[in-house]
Amino acid sequence: MNNNPEILDQIQQYLSQQMSEEERADFTKKIEGDSLLKDDVEKLSLLKSIAERQRLRDEIKNIHQQKMAEWSDSEENLPVKRFNLWKITGGFAMAASVAMVCFLTFSDVQYEPISSETERGNIENQDVVLKKFDETISKLENGDTKTSFLLYEDFAKIKAEQNLRPYYKDAADWYSVVALVKSKEYQKADELLKNIESRTDFKFGISTVDKWKMKWKILINK
């Protein structure tokens, strides 16, 4: 990531809507012509979004613990963020702390047995398929880079099973993203994750944190 204070300050102004229309248009053109700058803007935008959501969640929790009047009149009494934020020039908290970055970079997603989910049905051979699905998920959780791509292919085969409910097909897509990231196939993972997010009929539940983890890993490795 660029450590030039002037560039970081420009990114800050760009993301916080502090540029004039002319300045924003010029900086947008600059982003489009500089792949490294574009990557920095995407990374800081994602971290800024995560930090803001975390702050909002902490504030909502604090409302339940205190009367609003105790802190609404003074900035000094606003809820303390769970993560310390490192600040970019100008005093604006742009991104999460090193702790958050490490969390997104190195922590894994949650792996849950598919056969224990509620989307069950009396479909021929489904229990056999779901057992295989569970075994593949377990291998993915404990596997290495080399085996993860083979597991991606296994998830594709599971998804192709006839009469398998859409819920499980969508679960296969999600774990395919995880397998692709683990096997360092970041471009394929990015395309599949964007397809998942664009669908309004996607049925398998994915936690927001797990999505953040995959997005961050893809973003820093593309």
pLDDT tens-place string over residues 59-87: 545 544 554 455 445 444 444 433 343 34
- Determine the distance from the C-alpha atom of residue 145 to the mean position of all C-alpha atoms in its chain, rounded to a whole number: 20
Query: Distance between CA atoms of 151 and 175, rounded to whole angstroms?
Result: 9
pTM of the model: 0.62
Q: Which of 39-48, 121-130, 158-167 has the least mean pLDDT?
A: 121-130
Inter-axis angle of helices 98-106 and 208-219, nearest 10: 90
Label residue 44 left, alpha or beta by phi (over 0 means left) and psi (-120 to 50 means alpha): alpha
Contact in structure between 158 and 128 (CB atoms under 8 Å): no
Query: Distance between CA atoms of 67 and 63, rounded to whole angstroms?
Result: 6
pLDDT at 82: 38
Largest Cα–Cα separation, the chain: 63
pLDDT at 173: 97
Contact in structure between 172 and 155 (CB atoms under 8 Å): yes
- Residue 49, classified by CB atoms within 10 Å of its CB into exposed (0-12), middle (13-18) or buried (19+), is middle
- Position 126 pLDDT exceeds 60: yes
Query: Distance between CA atoms of 17 and 81, rounded to whole angstroms?
Result: 23
Q: Which of 59-63, 87-91, 97-101 has the least mean pLDDT?
A: 87-91
Going by C-beta distance under 8 Å and a sequence separation of 6 or more, which residues neighbour residue 201?
166
Tell me the mean pLDDT in the region 137-142.
Answer: 93
Query: Distance between CA atoms of 79 and 63, rounded to whole angstroms?
Result: 9
pLDDT in tens, 144-175: 888 999 999 999 999 998 888 899 999 999 99
- Position 198 pLDDT exceeds 70: yes
68 DSSP 8-state letter: G
